[in-house]
Structure 1
């Protein structure tokens, strides 16, 4: 899987200026930390987002 391939995540929580995301298809995957500024407006706990390169869109 390359960097430009789409990956779906679930927003698990927000911690300060960062959101903690988990791969949607891997419930036991390690959380990744992403700057809130990169997420689309309206993203909340439980939101599904898709990353293509560094562009996140709300699903």
Structure 2
């Protein structure tokens, strides 16, 4: 598995940063496969703002 951070993006709303990570996986065994994924995270820097998703 290889995880490569793609950096932070600035959201349109102040106080919220969006982070992205690209994940490249290879599976081996009786069946071989590859998977390419992108994970998005939101980080709020505004006090009192918080959500669990």
Higher strand proportion (structure 1 or 2): 2
TMscore range, shorter length: 0.3 to 0.5
Kindly name which structure, 1 or 2, has the bigger radius of gyration based on alpha carbons: 2
